[in-house]
Homo-oligomer: A and B are copies of this chain.
Amino acid sequence: MNVTPSTESSSSATAIQSRFLRACKRLPVDATPVWLMRQAGRYMEEYRALRTQHPILELIKQPDLAAEVTMQPIRAYNLDAAIIFADILPPLEGMGLNLEFIKGEGPVIHNPIRSRADVEALRLPDPTESLWFTLEAIKLVRKQLDPRGIPLIGFSGAPFTLASYAIEGGSSKNYLHTKGLMMSDAPTWHLLMEKLSEVVGNYLLAQAKAGAQALQFFDSWVGALSPADYREYILPHSRHAIDIARQGNVPIIHFGTNTSGMLNLIQEAGGDVIGVDWHIDLDTAWDSLKPETAVQGNLDPVTLLAPWPEIEKRTREILDRVKGRPGHIFNLGHGILPGTPVDNVRHLIDFVHEYTSIQH
């Protein structure tokens, strides 16, 4: 199945009015926009029902199913943006890595990268061929979202985070192999990161062309590094990927965790919106960034498992720290955890809107 890259405008007339896209540009909004990382997923009954019939990679690779999962939280709550249902790892498959999701263990790569030859063998596929299913899902979802005036976010794993999975062969605690390659063989490291940044940049650009109205660059695990290593071994490659994606003319959200000590470097690599996890006060984080920056965050995801008064208290504190500065997108500091009660999610979204509405 082939997907012809779309040439349609990346933002529809309705969507440009959306709170989410306005906040990305730091324009005034009638209430703070909210979306939640992993807003579609295991905590929702509708999703679990689908998962009993389809393995996760099937949900991702069948565009109609990916579109359905993307829409589940949109139908359930008053969210201000949808995010395409996909995963950060499929881009590695097209490069030649064998990806499998193993129950109870998570993602596993059966042929991890360990040598120069492994890196040289990596292919740079055209995303319209290797990742056609996500691009097709984006088109399907846009048809359902546009009448609602809700914009769609596309995303990709960032080069470092993809490299860490590709090298470790799965998730990791200390990133021994990843940092080992980085510290012991800089030329091979940079070759790998160059290849990944091309793939990531082109994938993001293809998503914008397919209809994604914003793009999130997920560097989830980059906080494992020191700022000095980030600057030397990651930043140029993240910047290259983001520069390619910028040709899509849609806002880019640059997200990481445990980055409190290097948010300025994350920004230097690029992005219109900087994601902030919960390990730093949002205003402190914001003050460390350039004045024209929008920010996204920063509630601890565990909070959503607490009783409502505790959720409200912590949400209110974040919103009070923002004090009406333009360009805040409310979100968790990382993805929703399995076991999160859906009523808490609904209540949170409504509370953020109510508390920040112009009538407030």
Interface residues, chain A, with chain B CB atoms under 8 Å away: 174-176, 179-180, 183-184, 223, 225-229, 258-262, 278-281, 284-285, 298, 300-303, 305-307, 310, 314, 317, 337, 339
Contact = CB atoms under 8 A, between A and B. Distances in A.
Given A184-B310, A310-B184, A174 B226 contact: no
A281 B314 CA distance: 29
Contacts of A174: 301-302, 337
Oligomer copy total? 2
B307 A284 contact: no
A250 B281 CA distance: 33
Given A300-B229, A314-B228, A337-B174, A306 B184 contact: yes
A183 B278 contact: no
Contact of A175 (B223, B229, B302): B302
Contacts of A279: 223, 225-227, 258-262
Q: Taking chain A's interface residues, is the majority helix, strand, or loop, or is none over half, making it mixed?
A: helix
A179 B307 contact: no
A305 B176 contact: yes
Interface centre among A298, A301, A305 (most CB of B within 10 A): A305
Contact of A280 (B262, B285, B300, B317): B262
